[in-house]
Structure 1
Amino acid sequence: MEFKHPIVIDPTGRDIHGEAARIRTRGPVAPVELPHGVPAWAVSDTVLLKRLLADPRVSKDPRRHWPRWIEGEIKPDWPLFSWVAVQNMFTAYGDDHKRLRTLVAKAFTARRTAALRPRVEEIAAALLDRVAEAGADGQVVDLREEFCYPLPIQVIGELLGLPEEQGPELRAVVDGVFHTSADPEKVADIYARFYAALRQLVATKRESPGDDLTSALIAAHEEDGTRLTEQELLDTLMLMISAGHETTVNLLDNAVHALLTHPEQLALVRAGQASWDDVIEETLRVRTPVASLPLRYAVEDLSLGELGGPQGAVIREGEAILAAYAAAGRDPGHHGPDAEVFDVTRAEKDHLAFGHGVHHCLGAPLGRLEARVALPTLFERFPGLTVAAAPGDLEPVDSFISNGHTALPVRTG
């Protein structure tokens, strides 16, 4: 395949699903142009994308498998620099990935996640008390700001043992990481501030370890004594904070908005004809929190016909691959002609919102747990909840990676 007439990805993400539809019209694999003219192949076919995500011939390590990185073409001022430059399990390949994921999994256990439920319930209840106060007398409340956003950031903050005073700075830098239209100066500033905050957190936990994930990551080691290097530790914390926060914010935001704009679907849930798990999985499919995820690289020439893709099509060694999750979630070839419809009774809600294969998100159980607590608690507390904005008035976040709204104005009843 050749990079002819690529779709230029809008870095501001003004029309995530319109752009995803345009990508699909170009076929299962489409040439796209990322910020600064960087070429990639966007994969939108669900089956093909799933197979590529699980294929050992596809890497996430630019240092070994992306010529543009190896030859120094990718500079720190690139808006996506932090997405490819980090040294953690997100960008690791092969044995390195196995080592890093094993170390993180030892600290981020199912037991630790399950034990968070009572605390998530407490946080949700306290936040909804604030929402009720702010929404008294019919006042409009920004539910993203007052509920969808603070719940996961407080949960991940407590999980990591983050001092309360560091919360506002971490929030600002996480927002910056997802700001894919940022200018070079902003990119450099965000990158530096994020690392400064993480070094402060690590220093605090080395001095006073606690029963938290940061302390556990500092102490984690393999049987041979191998530990995370200092850079791997910092970048793993960066991954945990970013992935453990922004994605859940968007999941809650999108689920609430979908239910409020599709009252017949909310009625099915209230009548017991669909579950909150149905709401969560359908939201993850049709309004995936991460629209597109950079980047992967072909370790060798990939004949896509052998993977269920178009016959004769080849992604060449070293070429970049963009996982087009928003496009795949609405793939009519997989989900049928009504793939763009939000339907909680849909029999098959399979999706790739948390990835697939060896890079499947370790935090998926936590994200689902937070949504399972937050959504029913919200709608039980405010049965008369309505959107306080006209259709089309909601602004998307400034990102082609993050898929949510800048604000979700509501009235509580």
Structure 2
Amino acid sequence: MIGFSTAPSTTVDSRGGTCMYSQIDTLRAQGPAVAAEFPEGFRAWVVTRGEVVRRLLPHPGVSRDLKKNVPGYEPGEVKWLSPWVDVESMSTAEGREHQRLRELVAPALTPERIDAMRPRLEEIAANLLDDLETRPPDEPLDLHTAYSQQLPTRLQCDLYGVPEDLRPEVLRILRVVLNTDNVPAEESAAVFTDMNVAMRTLIDLKRREPADDLTSFLLAARLDGEAPLSEQELVDMLFPLIGDGSQTTVSLIDHTVRELLANPDQLKTVLADPSRIDRENEEHIAFGAGPHFCPGARLARLAAHVAVPALFARFPDLALAVAPDEVRSPHSFIANDVAALPVVLRHRAVKAA
């Protein structure tokens, strides 16, 4: 047993996927904070109310540093958790140390810098859509793999200067990190080492050949009176920036497309006038809150703003190839995404013919 001694009232299924949503319903029914046991004996409180989360995230008594605050926790002991918590990064630091790390990264993610990325995003989207137009129009394809996943991943790898030959390894590591069920024990144990090796390879390359990318920027980043990023801090910071920055945006695009296709009346309204997206309550906490609010939130929104309209402009008759409730979720209780998004393109050139 790792964590608090309170007897858990429920056990979280490691398979995630569609059973994750039924588990969430069960947890919500038990109250605003529920003691739960996760795989490998890790115990934690699951907070199930948005208003409680809003109060907790900025609270000075709440910490993300598990190494210092979870009784009995030893780094590396919980394999699926290790890549997220056994690091020295903005995600785990608190107080002045968190502020230092965030201030070092902030100049790389200013609104002006992010807005300047729109042309590259539009170029990536256009190239991916060109590829899709070569596919048979009436044969199902996985939009998740062919489009939603590709656009944010290519952008993040471009931004951080990840060379082409290293990108497959970075994506493999990310898939293993997010999968909380059917990863062999030896692969799960090795992924933290693999992550370190991949990021050190990137850092070594940028030391030898600095370029106009964010890895080179972070290597040179300095604050008056503060130490620069150490080698380990840079290693620990890069993978979450690249991985989280791409995966969360992939999920945003996937879910947006799926929900629009599952609700054709709303899709028709939005295609006729995109300004009709008129959700009244925009104060969600998907990007966090308080000191740890996601520094890349603006970039995620920009990627979705480019990806979704471009997709429907090119393929206005796009349709799901399966029923909405048959879209599979991944084996993960960390990533809220789809395992695949089967669609039929029905592009206009064929329809007109």
> Does 2:153 match 1:153?
yes
- In the alignment, the residues of structure 2 paired with residue 169 and residue 383 of structure 1 have an alpha-carbon distance, to the nearest angstrom, of 35
- In the alignment, the residues of structure 2 paired with residue 79 and residue 115 of structure 1 have an alpha-carbon distance, to the nearest angstrom, of 36
| Structure 1 residue ranges without an equivalent (≥5) | 279-344
The number of equivalent residue pairs is 341
Cα shift at 1:107? 2.7
2:52 aligns with 48
The one-character-per-residue Cα deviations of 1:66-109 (angstroms, maximum 9, x if unpaired) are: 2222xx3x534521111110110100011111111111112333
| Counterpart residue identity of residue 122, structure 1 | E
1:317 aligns with none
- In the alignment, the residues of structure 2 paired with residue 6 and residue 175 of structure 1 have an alpha-carbon distance, to the nearest angstrom, of 30
- In the alignment, the residues of structure 2 paired with residue 274 and residue 158 of structure 1 have an alpha-carbon distance, to the nearest angstrom, of 31
| Counterpart residue identity of residue 63, structure 2 | S
Cα shift at 1:6? 2.0
The one-character-per-residue Cα deviations of 1:120-140 (angstroms, maximum 9, x if unpaired) are: 000001001111112x24121
| Counterpart residue identity of residue 173, structure 2 | V
The one-character-per-residue Cα deviations of 1:249-277 (angstroms, maximum 9, x if unpaired) are: 111111101100111221221232754xx
Residues 76 and 86, structure 2, Cα contact 8 Å, conserved in 1: no
1:363 aligns with 296
- In the alignment, the residues of structure 1 paired with residue 6 and residue 200 of structure 2 have an alpha-carbon distance, to the nearest angstrom, of 41
> Does 2:250 match 1:249?
yes
1:22 aligns with 26
Cα shift at 1:368? 0.3
> Does 2:205 match 1:204?
yes
Cα shift at 1:225? 4.6
1:389 aligns with 322
Q: Of 52, 56, 59, which residue of structure 1 is paired with 2:63?
A: 59
1:226 aligns with 227
Give the TM-score, by structure 1 length: 0.79
2:349 aligns with none
Question: Which segment is superposed worse, 346-355 or 356-365?
Answer: 346-355
Cα shift at 1:390? 2.9
Cα shift at 1:183? 3.9
User: Which stretches of structure 1, 4 residues or longer, exceed 6 Å deviation after superposition?
Assistant: none
2:119 aligns with 118
- RMSD, aligned CA: 1.7
2:351 aligns with none
1:296 aligns with none
| Counterpart residue identity of residue 8, structure 1 | T
| Counterpart residue identity of residue 246, structure 1 | Q
Q: Percent identity?
A: 39
Cα shift at 1:350? 2.4
Residues 8 and 37, structure 2, Cα contact 8 Å, conserved in 1: no
1:186-205 equivalences in 2 (<5 Å): 186-205=187-206
The one-character-per-residue Cα deviations of 1:154-202 (angstroms, maximum 9, x if unpaired) are: 0000100111121111111111111122343121222222211111110
| Counterpart residue identity of residue 166, structure 2 | Q
| Counterpart residue identity of residue 207, structure 2 | R
1:11-410 equivalences in 2 (<5 Å): 11-14=14-17, 15-69=19-73, 72=74, 75-134=76-135, 136-181=136-181, 182-272=183-273, 274-275=275-276, 278=277, 345-410=278-343
Q: Which has the higher contact order (CA 8 A, sep 6+)?
A: 1
- In the alignment, the residues of structure 2 paired with residue 55 and residue 375 of structure 1 have an alpha-carbon distance, to the nearest angstrom, of 36
2:344 aligns with 411
Question: What SS class does the counterpart of residue 54 from structure 1 fall into?
Answer: coil
Cα distance change on mapping 1:357 and 1:44 into 2, 3 Å: same
- In the alignment, the residues of structure 2 paired with residue 203 and residue 127 of structure 1 have an alpha-carbon distance, to the nearest angstrom, of 31
